[in-house]
Amino acid sequence: MKTLAAHISSVPLSLDEIKEALTNSQSLANMNLQGIDLSQMDLSQTNLSGAILIGVNSRETNFQGTDLRGADLRGADLRSANLTDTHLQDSYLNRTQLQGCNLSGAQLGSAKLQLALYDSLTVWPEGYDYRNSGAVGPYANLGGVFLNTANLRGADLRYANLRGAYLSGADLTGANLEGAALSGANLQGAFLTGAYLRQARLIGAELQGVDLRGADLTEVNWEQLQSLAGADFTGAQGLSESDLVCLCSRPPQELGTWNSFTRSNTAMSLRCS
């Protein structure tokens, strides 16, 4: 086996080298494991401090008690992983997928969680203020954040605070935004196809060119919209008569604007008379 030190911040280890190191109880601190498939492996009690784990597939991996201090896990898939009692201080968890992940007992001091995705099945350490961590999920406090062009397909954003958030061009296809606060949000050109928006608050939102085809819009608050020019409501569910009256009373120049992606104009998609 090559000397592990030769791999520090250089060529990623192979999976065979990782398995041999684990068999020999060798430390993997500061090693480059970028892009490796570690799914369903037992990495419990391993020293991975300072390791490069960018983009690794760690679905259902056991990291119980592992030292991940200062590790770079940006973009890693940690869905349903066991991270109980892990040391994650000063780690980089930006844009990781934490859906269904168990983080009970984990140490997250100074960990960077901006744009990490979690859901209702994610288990957080007791007392950890995940809602204000910068991670994206149900009840998250994301007011004014920049999520332009973000990939949030199928994201669980129920009751999230997205007031004044920048979501232009974001892909929210199939996302759950039930009860989300989107007042003043910029959703220009966002993709909300098939999204669940029941009781969402869109007061003063910018909806130019938004794709709402097939979305559930039951009891959405449409007050004081900035603009919905080019918004496509084709096949949207839950719009009441009062909703249609409100939306179809928008200025003619808005209703007549064509959506550059769906090739439909707003009035046609709402069937305004």
pLDDT in tens, 21-74: 888 889 999 999 999 999 999 999 999 999 999 999 999 999 999 999 999 999
C-alpha distance from residue 14 to each of 17, 31, 37, 144, 261 (Å): 5, 11, 10, 41, 43
Quick check: 96 and 74 in contact, CB under 8 A?
yes
d(CA 95, CA 72): 11
Other CB atoms within 10 A of residue 1 CB: 11
- pLDDT category at 1 given cuts 50, 70, 90 is very low
d(CA 33, CA 18): 8
Specify the 3-state DSSP secondary structure of 136: strand
| N-to-C CA span, the chain | 74
CATH of domain 24-125: 2.160.20.80
In terms of Cα–Cα distance, which of 186, 185, 181, 134 is closest to 161? 181
Percent of the chain scoring above 90 in pLDDT: 90
- Does residue 11 surpass a pLDDT of 90? no
d(CA 10, CA 228): 50
- Does residue 6 surpass a pLDDT of 50? no
- Does residue 170 surpass a pLDDT of 90? yes
- pLDDT category at 7 given cuts 50, 70, 90 is very low
- Does residue 149 surpass a pLDDT of 60? yes
d(CA 189, CA 259): 9
Residue 67 has a pLDDT of 98
Residue 173 has a pLDDT of 98
Q: Assign domain 136-273 one CATH number from 3.40.50.720, 2.160.20.80, 3.40.50.300, 3.40.190.10.
A: 2.160.20.80
* Per-chain mean pLDDT for the chain: 95
d(CA 1, CA 271): 69
Q: Write out the residue limits of the CATH 2.160.20.80 domain(s) in the chain.
A: 24-125, 136-273
Q: Which of residues 131 and 20 earns the better pLDDT score?
A: 131
C-alpha distance from residue 129 to each of 109, 124, 141 (Å): 11, 9, 10
Q: What is the pTM of this model?
A: 0.91
- pLDDT category at 10 given cuts 50, 70, 90 is low
